[in-house]
Amino acid sequence: MAHLSKATHKFLSPLSSDKEYRITAWLNIKTQFNESINKYEQMSDAQRQACEDVYQHMVREGIELSITLSERTAAQDVREFPKAAFIKLFVNKPYDQNRTASFQPTPDPGHQAPPQEQQAPRDYTQEIEDSGW
């Protein structure tokens, strides 16, 4: 049984197998939706800390997320849904106050994230606000 799932999802635009995509994920605790501002309420400090604790545990243990994207069909058995993609998400290294990676876990030589280009820090304020952080 999968630990996380979503029964249905519609993409904002068609995906293409000849393009590369960036995939990001955040840990969140569901909060109340505020109709007046059309957004979810911000998480409390305790909720943010709970997410941070889970994240730190994932870093320490080298936990990765494996995602299977399947096309939903009329099949009764979900195992019959055609597989569209297999995606592995790797936990990002934590940053110190200077936005420098501050934790270097001992990697498992058989399961290392592919090399990634270093980029200047990005302002995630809007994305974080939209996600409830």
Is 39 inside any structural domain?
yes
Cα gap 133→42, rounded to integer Å: 6
For 46-121, where are the E strands, in sequence order?
A: 65-70, 83-89
Q: Give the structural domain span for 41.
A: 24-96
Is 112 inside any structural domain?
no
Is 70 inside any structural domain?
yes
Total-model pTM: 0.64
Is 60 inside any structural domain?
yes
Number of domains in the chain: 1
Is 129 inside any structural domain?
no
Among 6, 29, 13, which residue's Cα sits nearest to residue 131?
29
| Residue 125 CA from chain centroid, whole number | 16
Is 33 inside any structural domain?
yes
Cα gap 53→129, rounded to integer Å: 20
Among 5, 9, 24, which residue's Cα sits nearest to residue 68?
5
In order along its 133 residues, the chain shows pLDDT tens digits of: 778 888 888 989 988 889 999 999 999 999 999 999 999 999 999 999 999 999 999 999 999 999 999 999 999 998 899 999 999 999 988 876 565 655 554 455 454 555 555 444 555 455 545 555 4
Is 105 inside any structural domain?
no
Is 11 inside any structural domain?
no
